A and B are shown apart, each in its own frame.
Chain A
Amino acid sequence: MHPAPEQTEPPILVLATSSCAYIAADAVGQAHLEHPANTYVMRVPAPVVFPDSFYYDCFEKGFAGIIVMSCGHECPYPGAFERLTKRIDRVKMGLKERGLDPARLRLTAVCTVCTKAYLKEINAMDALVRAAASAAAVTADGGDAT
């Protein structure tokens, strides 16, 4: 029906809070601001719902990067953001132990109108996972990844 994409791009999962980042993602769309299509937004009330294992599983299953876009200190759920930051710190250490770059998991605060911040985070993570994918491809081909 139409030409298919030639190869799969490294996918990025965006966990966006209903109160803040998901609305920013919509605002990006309303402004018709293009960004990489390998990003998938999942709407969540508060990302603190996800246990450590959720992140490890996501990477193991195939996501190349995860951006947790929270409301930051303006989180409408009292105490949730503080718990989330501790969890993400812990998971980042776990990723390192597993030989994964902790930078592939990013916690950030994105408000409802933070379209620039949203795009900056998406583009930065996209650049990171593409560089990592290229390096991995070179290594797989027997080249020097460095």
Chain B
Amino acid sequence: MAEPTHEPQAKADEAQAEADETQAKPNEAQAEADEPRVGVYVCYCGGNISDVVDVEAVAAEAAKLPGVVTAKTNMFMCSDPGQQVIADDIAELGVNRVVVASCAPSLHQTTFQGVLERSGLNPYLYENANIREQVSWTHHDRAEATKKASALVSAAVAKASRLEPLEPVEIPAAPAVAVVGGGVAGLRAATDLAKAGLAVTLIEKELTLGGTVARLDNLFPYSEPAEDVLCRLCEEALADPRITVHTGTVVESVEGYVGAFTLHLEQQARGRTVEATPDADSREITSLDWRCEAFRGYGPGEAFADEPVAADDAARALSVPVGAIVAATGFDLYVPPEGEYGYGRLPQVITLLDFIEWLSKQPEGSVPTFNGQPVRAVGFIHCVGSRQVEGVHEPGPNGRINEHCSRVCCTATLHCACDLRDKFPDVVAYEFYQDIRAYGRGHEEHYDRASLANVIFLQYDGAQPPKVVAGEGDDHPVLVSCLDGLTWGEEVEVGVDLLVLAVGMVAADVGNLATSLKLPVSADGFLQEVHPKLRPVEQAVNGVLLAGTCQAPKDVTESCASASAAAAKAYGLLASGEVKLDPYVAHVDPELCEGHAACVEECPVDRAIAMEDYPDGSRKAMVNPAICTGCGACVAVCPTQAIDLSGWTLEAYEAMVDALLLSHSEVSAL
């Protein structure tokens, strides 16, 4: 049964080879020169379309459209025989624009563009009519569906007739990447990139590497020591001759574009640099002393803050040329305002990070103490600074409340409560929570573990958070009360010796990196990806990739995963030595441009469009295709319609509107 499938494929391969050798350039040149000769191919999709849409009628109507030289149907256009029909028509009928009426373009646009390319046509001379998702799967009346399918095909033909051959924008790319942020995500990305063969500049604003993870004791879900994970990552990064590390260094500004960014850095006194060299043996990082300065095993980077500056230390400016940038700038922990749950007023109210450090320092087998007082009961409040409610919580310094869930604090808090009970079984632990969101692999087990360890849970409503007061004359210095949802709203008050606030993750100030490149941020302030599923680690600014918690709250596992994804994307971008960008960017017709510069004023991207002097003394707009994002804002404001979007021209849209309305009005045509 395999032979019938393989034989056409073999023929297609042969045809492809022949086309590559003999036909590619003539056909492509011809497409530019000739009048549009549109081929329309309507797919049955094995009944998915034809059960509702009369595809033969659609093809018959399409054949009458101006510029259409052939209109055919096929059971599966995406199959090898289906593709061969198109290839044959390109070769035999001189078809130079192709419309396939089938499923969504996300599924087979590249398939059909590949047919054009193999047949010597420019792949951008292809247009799709989506008559499955948008017709046969959403409309059940055969007449209505057929009419709509014909209208969509006529619009696609109108657009295809106006398509011009396009070439990807190709830019020489430096085989080097800047990773901004030396926390766990930055280290992961840097080592992955270096292993792929790219030169990496790792930039850390603190004096030591490791970020927030350097302040943790052990990591959920499997409780491996944070120090072990970080040591391994740091040693890998510091031992790789392709990685240059700058600590105590911030990004002052960035200029350029994908393939050719230049980062201007400012390194403070006491900041350290280890230059990458081709000879690993000459690298100084083998010196244990230096490694200890770059990364002090376990502890916050601020440890250096009070050390004197050596005489030969001085701040200095650096410039680093790279092809891509990985943002791994991490997050900030929410800082409760004074008085929130007693924070800043009651010394026994601390954050989860403070608690982790405190617990790690308590000797096992003794009664734990805080400020010299024995600790017999500890309360944990979840969602502090996360999932805030309008009207209940005060906006922060940025003028907004934090509506987002920080995701990791539920499991982190459960993990800490379990660690507390394991180490000090006589200490009572209370958890005040809204919902337990232990979402990841191995996370729910900590909820079970906490329940088995007799951690006491009290559920509060986000609109009525727990109240905290000083326990005057009480057995405990802090009293926490809430309306407990687990006991149907009963008001419960407990006394604790230590109250731990599970503070959330908030967006860090990315500083000049974000402002220089105008990086988009989401409503919660974190750097925003182009698309959460289709382009999850790419920024709208080409060549900028996202790793770790600069994008959203993540745990260490997720941060490392996104860092590796960002590294892979950066490698894919730069590996060939040149960057190929979609050609869907603005272009100017100098004949029409009268130099109004409205496009320059309207363009939201710096330097994407500039006014250039022409030899005749005039000034006309010129687009930098490497910087233009292709939004089209300029198109709408040009008084002479001199600027347009390649592949998505305004004229094509207007023709599509006309075609849709004409088909729609032809009630009795079918």
The residue from B523, B602, B604 contacting A78, defined by CB atoms under 8 A apart: B604
Query: A48 at interface (Cβ–Cβ under 8 A)?
Result: yes
B633 engages A57 (CB within 8 Å) = no
| Interface hits, B533-580 → A, CB 8 Å | 533-534, 540-541
A130 CB to closest chain B CB (Å) equals 15
Q: How far is the CA of A19 from the CA of B535 in the complex (A)?
A: 10
Query: B352 at interface (Cβ–Cβ under 8 A)?
Result: no
| Interface hits, B650-668 → A, CB 8 Å | 650, 653-654, 656-658, 660-661, 664-665, 667-668
Binary interface encoding of chain B residues 133-153 relative to chain A, with 1 for a CB under 8 A from any of its CBs, else 0:
111011111111111100110
User: Which of A1-9, A98-106, A133-141 faces chain B?
Assistant: A1-9
Q: How far is the CA of A7 from the CA of B635 in the complex (A)?
A: 37
A54 engages B650 (CB within 8 Å) = yes
Query: A93 at interface (Cβ–Cβ under 8 A)?
Result: no
Binary interface encoding of chain A residues 20-32 relative to chain B, with 1 for a CB under 8 A from any of its CBs, else 0:
0001011011101
B520 engages A26 (CB within 8 Å) = no
A40 engages B148 (CB within 8 Å) = yes
The residue from A2, A49, A76 contacting B540, defined by CB atoms under 8 A apart: A76
Closest B residue to A20 using CB positions: B531
A4 engages B667 (CB within 8 Å) = yes
A106 CB to closest chain B CB (Å) equals 17
**Known contacts A42-B656, A78-B540; A49 and B650 CB within 8 A of each other:** yes
A7 engages B667 (CB within 8 Å) = yes
**Known contacts A23-B106, A32-B137, A50-B653; A78 and B520 CB within 8 A of each other:** yes
The residue from B139, B528, B533, B636 contacting A51, defined by CB atoms under 8 A apart: B636
A83 CB to closest chain B CB (Å) equals 5
A86 CB to closest chain B CB (Å) equals 11
- In the complex, which residues of chain B have a beta carbon less than 8 angstroms from the beta carbon of A41? 130, 134
**Known contacts A1-B57, A11-B661; A79 and B670 CB within 8 A of each other:** no
B667 engages A80 (CB within 8 Å) = no
Binary interface encoding of chain B residues 144-183 relative to chain A, with 1 for a CB under 8 A from any of its CBs, else 0:
1111100110010000000000000000000000000000
The residue from A62, A76, A77, A83 contacting B661, defined by CB atoms under 8 A apart: A62
Query: B400 at interface (Cβ–Cβ under 8 A)?
Result: no
Q: How many A-B residue pairs have CB under 8 A?
A: 173
- In the complex, which residues of chain A have a beta carbon less than 8 angstroms from the beta carbon of B106? 23, 26
Task: Report which residue of A8, A33, A52, A78 has the largest number of chain B beta carbons within 10 angstroms of its beta carbon.
Answer: A78
Query: A58 at interface (Cβ–Cβ under 8 A)?
Result: yes
Q: How far is the CA of A13 from the CA of B660 in the complex (A)?
A: 9
A77 engages B653 (CB within 8 Å) = no
User: Which of B70-78, B198-206, B480-488, B624-632 faces chain A?
Assistant: B624-632
- In the complex, which residues of chain A have a beta carbon less than 8 angstroms from the beta carbon of B648? 44-45, 49
Query: B518 at interface (Cβ–Cβ under 8 A)?
Result: yes
B667 engages A46 (CB within 8 Å) = no
The residue from B604, B664, B670 contacting A4, defined by CB atoms under 8 A apart: B670
The residue from A29, A54, A83 contacting B138, defined by CB atoms under 8 A apart: A29
Task: Report which residue of B130, B152, B669 has the largest number of chain A beta carbons within 10 angstroms of its beta carbon.
Answer: B130
Q: How far is the CA of A43 from the CA of B57 in the complex (A)?
A: 25
Query: B192 at interface (Cβ–Cβ under 8 A)?
Result: no
Q: How far is the CA of A54 from the CA of B652 in the complex (A)?
A: 12
B54 engages A1 (CB within 8 Å) = yes
Query: A89 at interface (Cβ–Cβ under 8 A)?
Result: no
**Known contacts A19-B530, A23-B106, A78-B540; A62 and B523 CB within 8 A of each other:** no
B605 engages A78 (CB within 8 Å) = yes
Q: How far is the CA of A141 from the CA of B375 in the complex (A)?
A: 86
B518 CB to closest chain A CB (Å) equals 5
Q: How far is the CA of A52 from the CA of B650 in the complex (A)?
A: 12
What are 22 residue pairs bridging A and B, where the CB atoms are less than 8 Å apart in the complex? A2-B142, A3-B143, A4-B669, A7-B667, A19-B530, A25-B134, A29-B138, A30-B137, A34-B140, A40-B148, A41-B130, A45-B584, A48-B636, A49-B635, A49-B648, A57-B654, A57-B657, A58-B657, A62-B665, A74-B522, A76-B629, A77-B633
A35-B138, A62-B664, A63-B657 known; 4 new pairs, CB 8 Å cut-off, are: A2-B146, A44-B653, A49-B650, A61-B661
Contact residues of B with A, CB < 8 Å? 54, 56-57, 104-106, 130, 132-135, 137-148, 151-152, 155, 518, 520, 522-523, 528, 530-534, 540-541, 584, 602, 604-605, 629-633, 635-637, 645, 648, 650, 653-654, 656-658, 660-661, 664-665, 667-670
